[in-house]
Amino acid sequence: MEDYHKPDQQTLQALKNIASRLRINSIKATTAAGSGHPTSCCSIAEIMSVLFFHTMKYHPEDPRNPNNDRFILSKGHAAPILYAVWAEVGFLKENELLNLRKIESILEGHPVPKQQFVDVATGSLGQGLGAACGMAYTGKHFDKASYRVFCLLGDGELSEGSVWEAMAFASYYQLNNLVAILDINRLGQSDPTPLQHHVEKYLRRCEAFGWHAAVVDGHNVEELCKVLGQTRHQPLAIIAKTMKGKGIPAAEDKMGWHGKPLSKDMAESVIKELQGRIVSGSKRISPSPPNEDASPVSLRNVRMPSEPSFKVGDKIATRKAYGMALAKLGRNNDHVVVLDGDTKNSTFSELFKNEHPDRYVECFIAEQNMVSVAIGCAVRERNVVFASTFATFFSRAYDQLRMAAISESNINVCGSHCGISIGEDGPSQMGLEDLAMFRAIPTATIFYPSDGVSAEKAVELAANTKGLCFIRTSRPENNIIYNSGEDFHVGQAKVVYKSSDDHVTVVAAGVTLHEAFAAAEQLKKDRIPIRLIDPFTIKPLDGKTIIDNARATRGRIITVEDHYYEGGLGEAVCSAVVNENGFTVHRLAVSQVPRSGKPHELLQAFGIDRDAIVQAVHKMLSGSANSK
C-alpha cells in the first residue's frame, strides 16, 4: 500500500480511453480476419490498459530490452488485444492489425516469438505461469534485477494442473516479483467454467497455495491501479471479475460467442458505440522507463575448461558423466543453470548443485512445470539451461516440450534411466518412447552418448546448439571407448570397429553399442567381421556415414536399440537409407511392454543383447546366401 499513489481523474480517463481503443482494434482485427476471439479480448481490455500504460516499466521501442518488465499472455487466444497494445504504444502500425492471421503477417492467431514483444509462445493453455516463474526466478536470483513479471491467465485454463504446479513453485521460492492476473470472465469455450463467478473460491485457492490474493472488478481501472501498485513479500494473484465480451451488447456474458468474430455490420455498430465512450482531449499517457539494472549477458562460446579426464577402459555410467560434465561446465560459465525434478541423486545433477548451489533450481516432482520454468529461465538469452529427470517422465511434459519448439527456446533436457537396461525398477521407470517423442519435434537435437567422454562432449555441444536439445543417458556403467581428445560434432557418427572385409554394419548406441562390441568379438572368432557405428546424435542422424559404410558391407545394416521399435534409432536409420538400392535393414528393439529383472536378463529376454546381435548377423548372412 505504501507505494500506491492514486491516479488523477485525467489519468483514469486516459486508461479508460485506451481500453476502449483496445476493444475497437481487437474487433476490427478479428472481423477483418474472419476468425479469432474478440470476446476473450474484450474481457481484459482494462487489465491490459492499466498493465501496459500505468504499471509496467519498459521501453516500448525495444521490447526485449533486458531491463523491461516481462509480460506473458497465458490465454494466448486473446492475442489480438496484445497486438492492439503494441499498436497503441507505437511499436506496430495500426493498419498492420488488419493483417491478423494472414500467412504473410507476423501477427499469428496466438503469440509467437517472431513477434519481438513475445518471449514465449502461448495458446496451449496452462503453461504461461510456469514460464513466468522461470523469468521471475531469473530476475530475483540470477539477474538480481528489479524488473517484474506479469502473467495474464484465463479462468478456463485454471483447470490445468500445470497452473497449480507453477503456483506452488512461485510460493515456495517467494517470487514476490511475480504477478498473476486471473481473468474470471465465467465462460469457457463450450460451457461455463467450473467455478463461474465464485471469485471467493479462487481467492481461497490462491491463498492456500501461499500467494497474496485480492479480488477486484476487472473493468474498474482505479481498482486495478490500486492493487497493482501494492508491494508484497509473496507472489501476487489478482482475481479480476470480468465479463466475456464486455462492450459487445449481443455477446456480453453470453454463451456461444467463443472464437467467433463479429459480422461486419455488427462490428461497425459496436465500434461506433465504443468510440462514443472515448473522451476527446484527455491526456495521453506513455509507459514509464525501467530501472537499468539487468547486467549484459553473453552466452557465446560456452566451453569446458579442459578435456575429459576419463581413460579408455575406465567404467562409468553416462548419467554420472552427465552430472560431472554439468559441474565442470559451470566452473567456466556463470550463466549455466540446472533444474531437476527431485531426481538429482539419480540423474547426478546433484554434482552441479554441490559445486554451484546458487545456480541449481529444485523443481520437485512437477515435470510439466520444470520444463516451463526452464523455458522462462532461458528467454532473452539470460541463461544456459539444463533440466533433468528420468527420460520416461518427460512424456508427461510433452506438450511443454512441443511449445518450447514453437517458442524457439534453447533449453537442454537430459533424460536418464533410458530403456530396459535400468533393470529391476520395471517398465514405469523405463524410458522407451523418448526418442520417438523428441524426433517428432522439428527444432530438437538428440544426443545419445555411449560413454563418459561422449557424454561430456554432448553437454558442451548442447550448451552451444540452438533449439531444444535432448541428452539420453543410461544407468549401467560401461567402458570408456573414446580418447579424451576425440572430436565430436552434431550430426557426425563414429565408426568404432571395422576391418577391410566387414560383412554387416551394426548401428547401436548407449548400452547396445557395448553389447555390439561383445558380439563383434564373438563373431570375429567365427571369422565374420562386422562394422560398428556409434551415431552419437540420433537427430540429426549422420546418414552419409551409415550409407557409405553399409555400401562396404553390401548394404547389410542391423540396428540395435534400448527403445521401442516405433520412432527410435531403427526407424531413423530406415529413413536415412530409404532411397538406397540394395540395402537391407534388420531392426532389434524392445517389442512389448517389459517387466522387472536384472539388466542382462532383460536385454536377453527382449532380444537386444550380444547373443541377439550374433543371431541377427547369422540370419542376415544366411538370408543373403539363400537369395543368391
Annotated active-site positions, please? 367
Asked whether 70 and 76 are in contact (CB, 8 A), the reply is no
How far is CA 523 from each of CA 153, 510, 622, rounded to the nearest angstrom?
A: 62, 20, 14
Residue 390, H or E segment: strand 384-390
Q: How far is CA 305 from the centre of its chain?
A: 28
Query: To the nearest 5 percent, what fractions of the chain are helix, strand and coil?
Result: 40, 15, 40
How far is CA 485 from each of CA 136, 479, 611, rounded to the nearest angstrom?
A: 40, 16, 32
Angle made by CA atoms 296, 300, 306, in degrees to the nearest 5: 120
- Which cell goes with 107? 501477427
User: Dihedral of the CA atoms 235, 238, 244, 247 (nearest 10)?
Assistant: -130
Residue 15, H or E segment: helix 9-33
Edge-to-edge strands, sheet with 149-154: 70-73, 149-154, 178-184, 236-241, 212-217
In three-state secondary structure terms, 237 is strand
Q: How far apart (Å, rounded) are the C-alpha atoms in residues 144 and 67?
A: 11
- Which cell goes with 295? 547486467
Q: How far is CA 310 from the centre of its chain?
A: 32
Residue 208: CB partners within 8 Å, gap ≥ 6? Answer: none
Looking only at the bridges linking them, the beta strands covering 236-241 and 469-472 are unpaired
Asked whether 107 and 83 are in contact (CB, 8 A), the reply is yes
Asked whether 417 and 431 are in contact (CB, 8 A), the reply is yes
- Which cell goes with 379? 528467454
In three-state secondary structure terms, 559 is strand
